[in-house]
Chains A and B, each alone.
Chain A
Amino acid sequence: MPPVDPADLDRLLEPYGGFKLVYKKLLAMARRKLALYVGNSGGKVVTRQLDPEDAVHDAFARLFEEGFGLNDNVYFVLRNHVDNGIHTLEKSEHEKKTARVEGSEKLSHAYYREADRHLPTAPDRAAVADEVGQMVEIMQYLAANTTKDPQVAKLAQAIADGHSEPAALCNVTHMNRDEYDAAFKRLKRQFLRAQLASQEKKK
């Protein structure tokens, strides 16, 4: 068996910036994906409990368990493993809730022909309503915390109105590019903080 040398991982991931940078990028991507999960519908309630670092660890474990080819883009494979791991967790929760008639595929198909499987159940509808409530709460939190920063409040309103290009946002908010950059940074922080505060409450 070859000797264990942690530097081997740097050599493996050298084209992508080395182990530490790849780990941080994967962690940031997992964070981003999990930040998109708001509410409790589907499998979100379980997915939100997932620590992004666990998602990255699972991706590395799967990479070395399944192996890879000499010509494989290892970084790309890892990215897919992170994405798929989170997605599978959400899907598995959803699958658990899917009705099976007496455990039989055939009977289930017959049942679904009669009943609209896309029609949300009462608990699903409640979860979606709760999700909407959470988004509204985040927006209210944001509004309350930006009253003392009119630039951020104006910028949030302009984005909410559908403007997305920096030039258009500068125009609408009457800010120059430097003011816009600084205000956007503050808005980003406030918005993420509002989301985190809301998610902590949900846990």
Chain B
Amino acid sequence: MNPDQSKDLVNAFRQLQKATLPDNETIEKMLEPELDEFMADTGTDMKGLNERIAAAKKKFAGRYALMRARMARRAGAAPKPCSVPVPSTREEIIAYFSEHYRHELPMAARNFKSATYEELRQMFIDLHS
């Protein structure tokens, strides 16, 4: 076979491949029997496919439950242990922030002098955990 013939056959192959393989958008619109037909045509072992899907569903239901548990734990997570002792009074925390942070605190925290002890304590813990 000469190179030109090979080139023609390769081009023909590409055209046929493009025409006979549905694109993802077509697969998207397929109904279940059409999907089954396409998969059978492309060599999927259809025997026991539904059982394999049921087994996968059971397996991934466990993973999904774990993921949700993980997310719930994160949402309500207790603060990490603070790396330095938390000052016991409001004034001590203000003095600490004034001395060590000043303008380095985020804008939202700049007005810390009007905050309550609990708010300042949480801010202190957040900065040190």
Residues of A bordering B, CB below 8 Å: 1-9, 12, 19-21, 23-25, 27-29, 31-32, 35-36, 38, 52-53, 56-57, 60-61, 64-65, 67, 79, 132, 135-136, 138-140, 142, 156, 159-162, 164, 187-189, 191-193, 196
Contact = CB atoms under 8 A, between A and B. Distances in A.
B60 A64 contact: yes
Interface of B: 1, 6, 8-24, 27-28, 30, 32, 35-36, 38-39, 41-44, 50, 52-54, 56-58, 60-72
Nearest to B24: A29
Nearest to B29: A25
A160 B20 contact: no
A8 B71 CA distance: 16
Given A3-B65, A8-B65, A135 B57 contact: no
Contacts of B32: 20-21, 24
The A contact surface, by secondary structure, is helix
A31 B44 contact: yes
A132 B14 CA distance: 11
A9 B60 contact: yes
A33 B30 CA distance: 16
B60 A20 contact: no
Given A4-B62, A5-B61, 17 more contacts: A3-B65, A19-B53, A20-B32, A23-B56, A23-B57, A24-B32, A28-B35, A29-B24, A31-B38, A32-B24, A60-B60, A65-B63, A132-B10, A136-B10, A160-B12, A160-B16, A191-B20
Contacts of B12: 139, 156, 159-160
Contacts of A19: 53, 57
Contacts of B71: 67
B9 A1 contact: no
A29 B16 contact: no
B41 A25 contact: no
Contacts of A138: 13
Nearest to B23: A32
B27 A4 contact: no
B1 to A, nearest CB: 7
